[in-house]
Structure 1
Amino acid sequence: MPENNKPLAKIDRMDRKILECLQKDGSLTNQQLAEKVGLSPSPCLRRVRALEEAGIIMHTATILDHKKLGLSLTAIILIGMDRHTPERFAAFEDTVSEFPEVQECYLITGQSADYMLKVVVPDMDHYHQFLLNHITRIPGVSGVHSSFVLRRVLDSTALPLGYLS
């Protein structure tokens, strides 16, 4: 069963069409969305609100171009922890959640690390300072391995909805 012991949400073909459209362009007005999916505005809005209330639509965000804002360096950091306790992990997660440079944080398995972070900074000097002044100072961090993104081949926030019935 999914997280929190809640059953999977039931969505139909129309809900899936709505979600696919909103994943491509979250700035669509309700009128535009209704036209794209073939509904009148009122039922379309009711469906969107129901998807929000069910927690399927968590929030709408604006995606920015990193490079145009001077944030040219993306690093993937694998982090090892000294102890595998809930308290140690919770403290680490609370701390990295406060760093605006951290775009994503995953507790992982199958690697010689416990966490994987995606970090965006202006350049290598900023990364070096971020690593020394923030990441390595978090209690419990016992190892850090950094890799740097050379090129974004695929960068999507869209989920594969084709698996849904």
Structure 2
Amino acid sequence: MSNQVSLDATDHDILFHLRRDGRLSNVELAKRVGLTPPPCLRRIKRLEEAGVIAGYRAVVDPVALGRELEVLIDVEIYAQDRKTVTAFEKTVSSYEEVIEFRRMYGRPDYFLRVAVSDHASYEAFLTDKLSGLPAVLRLESHLTMKKIKDDS
């Protein structure tokens, strides 16, 4: 049985605007989607309660934080037993530099997105933290030339 919620064109329009600016007032959002404020607010509450809208957050400029170098890392680990996987995931999740962490099907085993200030900081992260973990078999770093689309 699917937990999917049935969404109409207005719901999609609401989500479109909230994804671009989660701080829109209900009055402004209602105006943009062609509703009056009360039904617009009811729709937002329904989307929140159904889990379609999972939360709201601030999008922070990494340059303003001094973390303008973003590196994508493919990670393969040597073992797949639960103890090793759990320990690896707990450790890597705790690293401040790791801003996205995914377990993958197939290869690589994991995908990481890391944000640091510069190449020296990345080298220190890789050498002192990631490559020193006992589970790590192979790391492959990918530096971004240009970010073309970011829908986060």
TM superposition score normalised by structure 2: 0.89
AA at the equivalent of 1:150: M
The 5 Å alignment of 1:20-35 reads 20-35=16-31
AA at the equivalent of 1:155: D
One of 99, 119, 122 as aligned partner of 2:117: 122
**Displacement after TM superposition at 1:6 (Å):** 4.4
Q: Given the superposition, is the C-alpha separation of residues 6 and 86 from structure 1 closer, same or farther in structure 2, using an over 3 Å criterion?
A: farther
Matched, 1:99 2:99: no
Report 1 or 2 for greater relative contact order, CA contacts < 8 Å, sequence distance ≥ 6.
1
Structure 2 counterpart of 1:37: 33
Matched, 1:53 2:49: yes
* Sequence identity (%): 36
Structure 1 counterpart of 2:126: 131
Matched, 1:150 2:139: no
Structure 1 counterpart of 2:13: 17
Q: Given the superposition, is the C-alpha separation of residues 91 and 11 from structure 1 closer, same or farther in structure 2, using an over 3 Å criterion?
A: farther
**SS at 2:131 equivalent:** helix
AA at the equivalent of 1:142: L
Structure 2 residue runs of 5 or longer lacking an equivalent are none
Structure 2 counterpart of 1:85: 81
1:67-121 superposed Cα distances (whole Å, 9 cap, x missing partner)? 233222110111011112334333322222222211111222353x200101010
Q: After superposing the two structures, state which structure 1 stretch, 79-88 or 11-20, moved more.
A: 79-88
**SS at 1:88 equivalent:** helix
AA at the equivalent of 1:145: E
Q: After superposing the two structures, state which structure 1 stretch, 120-129 or 57-66, moved more.
A: 57-66
Matched, 1:141 2:147: no
1:7-49 superposed Cα distances (whole Å, 9 cap, x missing partner)? 3222222211110110111110111111111111111112111
What number of residue pairs does the alignment pair up? 152
The 5 Å alignment of 1:71-82 reads 71-82=67-78
Structure 1 residue runs of 5 or longer lacking an equivalent are 158-165
Could you tell me how far apart the structure 1 residues matched to 2:146 and 2:76 are?
26
Could you tell me how far apart the structure 1 residues matched to 2:151 and 2:67 are?
18
